[in-house]
Amino acid sequence: MIRKPDSTHYRAAEAIVRRLREAGHQAFLAGGCVRDLLLGAEPKDYDIATSATPDQVRGLFARTEPVGAEFGVVLVMADGQGVQVATFRTETGYSDGRHPDSVSFAELAEDAQRRDFTINGLYWDPESDSVLDLVGGQRDLRRRLVRAIGDPEQRFREDHLRIIRAFRFAARLRFRIHVSTRRALKALAPLAAEVSAERLQQELRIILTDRSPALALRMMDELGILTRLFPELEDAKGCEQPDNYHPEGDVFVHTILTVEKLGPRPDFVAAMAALLHDIGKPEASRRSGPKRFPEHERIGAQMAYQVCRRLRLPKAETERICWLVKRHMYLRDAAKMKDSTLKRLFVEPGFDQLLELHRIDSLASWGRMEHIEHVLAKRRQMSEQEINPPTLINGHDLIERGYKPGRALGKILEAVREMQLQGEIKDRKAALGAAERIASQIGAARS
Percentage of the chain beyond pLDDT 70 is 97
Would you state the pLDDT for residue 69? 63
Would you state the pLDDT for residue 343? 87
Would you state the pLDDT for residue 269? 98
CA distances from residue 444 to 391, 396, 399, 409 in whole angstroms, order as listed: 21, 15, 11, 8
Would you state the pLDDT for residue 100? 64
Beta strands in 185-235 (DSSP E): none
Would you state the pLDDT for residue 27? 97
Bridge partners (DSSP) of residue 374 are none
Closest CA to 233 of 220, 246, 215: 220
pLDDT tens digits along 232-250: 999 999 999 999 889 999 9
Would you state the pLDDT for residue 171? 98
Three-state DSSP class for residue 83: strand
CA distances from residue 139 to 77, 143, 145, 198 in whole angstroms, order as listed: 34, 6, 9, 34
Whether the Cβ atoms of residue 148 and residue 117 lie closer than 8 Å to each other: yes
Strands 145-146 and 176-177: parallel
Contacts of 316 (CB under 8 A, 6+ apart): none
Would you state the pLDDT for residue 96? 64
CA distances from residue 101 to 94, 97, 104, 195 in whole angstroms, order as listed: 6, 10, 10, 17
Rounded to two decimals, the pTM is 0.87
Burial 359-377 (b: 16+ CB within 10 A, else e): bbbbbbbeeeeebbebbee
Three-state DSSP class for residue 49: strand
Closest CA to 209 of 142, 271, 276, 138: 271
Whether the Cβ atoms of residue 415 and residue 372 lie closer than 8 Å to each other: no
pLDDT-flagged residues of the chain (< 70): 69, 93-97, 99-102
Bridge partners (DSSP) of residue 49 are 28, 86
Whether the Cβ atoms of residue 56 and residue 87 lie closer than 8 Å to each other: no
CA distances from residue 324 to 284, 301, 329 in whole angstroms, order as listed: 18, 8, 9
Write the DSSP symbol of residue 148: B
Alpha carbon distance 270, 274 (integer Å):
6
pLDDT tens digits along 244-290: 889 999 999 999 999 999 999 999 999 999 999 999 999 999 999 99
Would you state the pLDDT for residue 102? 66
